[in-house]
Structure 1
């Protein structure tokens, strides 16, 4: 047991050292800034796509579900803007303005790709236009997935009312139903992270080698989201320091923490891959029985 703990500690140290040497914390700042800029163009695209598909309420329902997973202070900052953008369903969005929104939103995907290529030590060899098409495609697929998930979000309360009509369910059952919904949201988040790690870098890695870091990022992000509101309430003084920009700063800080955890998951996978490669190149010496042929 001590040997396993020691090996796990060395693995964490290796991942942390790699983050420092590759300027991952600085890159996380770039991801946070780019991600904050990319959210609102993505909302514009989502509103246009939802209106085009006749599911205008779906985009809003998807975002409401996402906000439930965020810290309260971050959700309060983003919620008014999200409602404002998604409520203004202008048909003119499906024009050059939509293409511009797609281009800007794809910059957030580009930042994640750079972080993954750096963590996995992958040299990008694809032409820039193919990379950009891939980023725009990821935004488009993400928008469609959001709208498909919105069906589940909208049907959730309907299903609950149906269950209440069929069975005499109590408050404990309501809590269990909410737990199932949040569990599904967490699984969707895990699947999304796996997809990013799998298809964004310049070289695809096996799902088995990607899963440990993705699980670590998901667990740490859920913990960070839970503790962030407590930190802001007890220790943070953003309003006193930044005035009316306090909410924006809080959101940017949370994006930065999320970016650090995203990179850490990739670096953890990379450390595991380095350890497996080292074991393959330097196998342990054969035991006495193997040497004796027994």
Structure 2
């Protein structure tokens, strides 16, 4: 290891190092905000969000195949309920596109074999999304991947399965409305009150699930050693809030000012869907960038040189490449 890299190697925090972001002084928070904006551009976060959008699209439509194929088991009312809840958070053009594809799949006739094929493709695409997020997370933390194949593969599979389970739980929560909530309320002795309460309570529950997904990605994806699982972080809160604002704002823009249909014709709805996914992924990555800069601020408070990289301790150090030019971080943070 060269002297420059050794000087920038993350060490153990001293006794005076802040353990939580709340212990950082106000001036440090201002530095975190400035570096987050600068690193957002230098880390090419918009490009990483585009890569994540690609894998997200690959997994969405196979998931629709599974949904339509299972409609004979769960009933068409359940499918309609899910689509109506999608309309509550997504731009109208996105909702119309999804409903159109669901209708086309229903007319083509889904079978059990088609459902299995769709599920396998959706899982493979979701695994690709996780792999892309791993690479994006490493870029955000300015750290190289050092985990071997036999560690990364179980990580990808595990995160994918957890992702699918939580998404399925979200679908159950969304469909647990109307008659289902009424029956459950009567069985528990709450009557119509259960329907009213659940119609409002389900949204915070869905936000908690979304937050859990984001925090899991932030914690497990990058090759960064974390002190423990952060059940909540400033970056995670920022990501969820930004996603809500971006979704609502983009829906209003498309409904009132957007001209995608005039520009792209019949592809207008597809373009709106892609832009919405891209903005959503940028919100998630911006939250990760914010958490990364908070970690840098804590390292600086512990005595780490402000411009030296890497500042995070890797889970598994990468092998040194003797032919790679040195990076002292000065040109990046200037």
Which residue pairs with 2:252 in the alignment?
230
Pick closer, same or farther for the CA change 1:23–1:150 going to 2, 3 Å: closer
Pick closer, same or farther for the CA change 1:279–1:43 going to 2, 3 Å: same
Q: Is 1:221 matched up with 2:231?
A: no
Matched ranges for 1:1-294 at <5 A: 7-44=28-65, 60=79, 63-64=82-83, 65-82=85-102, 85=105, 89-93=110-114, 98-128=119-149, 130-157=151-178, 158-160=180-182, 163=185, 174=196, 177-205=198-226, 206-208=228-230, 211-281=233-303
Q: Any unmatched runs of 5+ in structure 1?
A: 283-294
Q: Distance in 1 between matches of 2:229 and 2:133?
A: 18
So what's the TM-score if we normalise by structure 2?
Answer: 0.69
SS in 2 for 1:281: coil
SS in 2 for 1:143: helix
Which residue pairs with 2:7 in the alignment?
none
CA contact (8 A) 1:120 1:270 kept: yes
Q: Report the aligned-residue RMSD.
A: 3.5
So what's the TM-score if we normalise by structure 1?
Answer: 0.77
Q: Any unmatched runs of 5+ in structure 2?
A: 1-23, 305-334
Pick closer, same or farther for the CA change 1:55–1:142 going to 2, 3 Å: farther
Deviations 1:122-148 (A, max 9, x none): 322233465345334433333333334
CA contact (8 A) 1:61 1:153 kept: no
Q: Distance in 2 between matches of 1:247 and 1:13?
A: 36
Number of aligned residue pairs: 274
Deviations 1:164-213 (A, max 9, x none): 895676xxx84x54221111111111111111112222345233496111
Q: Distance in 2 between matches of 1:8 and 1:234?
A: 37
Pick closer, same or farther for the CA change 1:279–1:56 going to 2, 3 Å: farther
Deviations 1:86-128 (A, max 9, x none): 8954222476775444323322222222211211233222334
Deviations 1:68-96 (A, max 9, x none): 33233322222332465589542224767
The Cα shift of 1:25 comes to 1.6
The structure where helix makes up a greater share of residues is 1
Q: Distance in 2 between matches of 1:251 and 1:217?
A: 19
More displaced 10-residue stretch of structure 1: 24-33 or 63-72: 63-72
